[in-house]
Structure 1
Amino acid sequence: MSLNIDEFQPPMVAILRGLSAVEAPAVAEVLFACGFRLLEVPLNRPGALECISIINSLKPPDALVGGGTMLTVGDVELVRQHGGRIMVAPNFNADVIRHAKDLDMLAVPGVATPTEALAALAAGADAIKWFPAEALGLAGLRSVKTILPGGARVWPVGGVSAGNLRDWRLAGADGFGIGGRLYEPGVTLSELEGRARELIAAWRTG
């Protein structure tokens, strides 16, 4: 049975760049306990695949883990072999999207223009990552949303925080990817919990 992206709520991806295998169980447990249901470990740091396997082994049934910075079909294969079910990329590559969908993964490629956004949706993307959101801005998101098909999901990534999440939602954001404002190597579990709860609360009151 194919995955439905709307089943995983809230639609916010915790981006765990630089996560180590030692940290992975405790970090994942904190995020799941706070309400996050989508976790991403970017592949451009050592140990990412091991972390994906660890998180996959302890995630609740209503959660998913996947890989970020997935640039090739080979990346898709490796992440899927380690239990990942989400393909997240900073760019648009139709072959990568299609291969992820062939392996029953959620596909969230990065786009920065209307042309890329439409092409990514045509290739089968479940949501599109509006990246880098901080540079593209709220006005850019509002503009691109006007030309997308109804129901297209756009998730800003880059510079999103609990403080500006409502502004992004008003501009048309359907979900988010949160990186350094949530997790960074060395963050204490108590600080991580505080940030996670603040973000979840901002989503619920948005």
Structure 2
Amino acid sequence: MDLKDWLARCPLVAILRGVRPAEVEAIGEALIAEGIAVIEVPLNSPDPLDSIGRLARRCGDRALVGAGTVLDPADCARIAEAGGRLVVTPHADPDVVRAAKAAGMLAVPGFFTPGEAFALLKAGADGLKLFPAEAASPAVLKALLAVLPKGTPILPVGGIEPGNMAPWRAAGAAGFGIGSAIYRPGDDAPTVAAKARALQGALAGA
């Protein structure tokens, strides 16, 4: 499936920053049970490739599993080898996008300006991460979508929680990357499940 197919299943990307390999499978199962279909393990988490591998083996085709905070193009091959199928960056680096695509993965790089967005799409990005969303607004997103190629999926990331999703969706957000509103280090699987339910409820209302 391509990125749009996964986002059609659920437009929320669970960002598990700080998750540990020993807990990641239970948390992944809790997320899937609540309908979350895209799970990202940032590379600045403990043993992230181990966590990605465990999730990929456990979840199979039930979820799109990948890595976030990918800064080095060389990491893309290692992520793919671990079983990851998604690369997310915090910054606009076309080299990481090209490396992710060469490794057969989906790429959702971070951007903040129209120039960055067009350069990343030219490099092969499957979607774009508007980051940090706290420094932008739904009006900014709407203006960007007016000039980018029709159908470009943009996911605001940063500060997204149940109370502020509706205006972003109305402006055209294809989905959201959700960090602390869905997982903080130390959260157990039931806690993550409860957060996911709250987000899903807010999404339905949006």
Pairwise TM-score range, normalised by the shorter structure: over 0.9
- RMSD over aligned Cα, in angstroms? 1.2
Is 1:193 aligned to residue 193 of structure 2?
yes
Quote the Cα distance in structure 2 between the aligned partners of 1:116 and 1:61.
32
Contact 2:158–2:179 under 8 Å retained in 1: yes
Q: C-alpha separation between the residues in 2 aligned to 1:68 and 1:121? A: 18
1:36-55 equivalences under 5 Å are 36-55=36-55
Percent identity between matched residues is 44
CA distance in 2, matches of 1:41, 1:76: 13
- Do structure 1's residue 5 and structure 2's residue 14 form an aligned pair? no
Q: Per-residue CA shift, 1:93-151, capped at 9, x if unaligned? A: 11111121122211000001111111111111111000000112222212212211111
The equivalent residue for 2:166 is 166
**Aligned residue for 2:86?**
86
172-181 or 134-143: which moved more?
134-143
Are the structure 2 counterparts of residues 62 and 189 from structure 1 closer, same or farther at C-alpha, using a change threshold of 3 Å? Answer: closer
Higher helix share: 2
Quick check: 1:136 aligned with 2:132?
no
Q: For each residue in 1:169-196, what CA deviation from the matched residue of structure 2 results, as whole angstroms up to 9, or x when unmatched?
A: 0122111100011101111322211110
TM-score scaled by length of structure 1: 0.95
TM-score scaled to structure 2, two decimals? 0.95
CA distance, structure 2, for counterparts of residue 46 and residue 94 of structure 1: 26
* In structure 1, C-alpha distance between the alignment counterparts of 2:82 and 2:54, rounded to whole Å: 9
SS of residue matched to 2:184 = coil
What is the distance in 1 between the residues matched to 2:36 and 2:23?
A: 17
Query: Which residues of 2 match residues 39-78 of structure 1 at below 5 A?
Result: 39-78=39-78
State the AA in 2 paired with 1:54: R
Distance 1:129 1:57 in 2: 26
1:148 is aligned with what amino acid? L
Asked if structure 1 preserves the Cα contact closer than 8 Å seen for 2:100 and 2:107, the reply is yes
* Residue matched to 1:184: 184
Moved over 6 A (4+): none
Structure 1 unpaired stretches of 5+: none
The 1:93–1:135 alpha-carbon spacing in structure 2 relative to 1, beyond 3 Å, is same
Q: Give the C-alpha shift of residue 204 in structure 1.
A: 3.1
The residue identity in structure 2 corresponding to 1:28 is G
Quote the residue 2:118 is aligned against: 118
Unaligned runs of 5+ residues in structure 2 are: none
TM-superposed CA distance for 1:46, in Å, is 2.1
**Partner in structure 2 of residue 18 of structure 1:** 18
Per-residue CA shift, 1:22-76, capped at 9, x if unaligned? 1111111100110111100000122111100010011142411100011111111
Q: How many residues align?
A: 204
Q: Quick one: distance in 2 between partners of 1:11 and 1:76?
A: 24
What's the secondary structure of 1:129's corresponding residue? strand
User: Which amino acid in the other structure matches residue 24 of structure 1?
Assistant: V
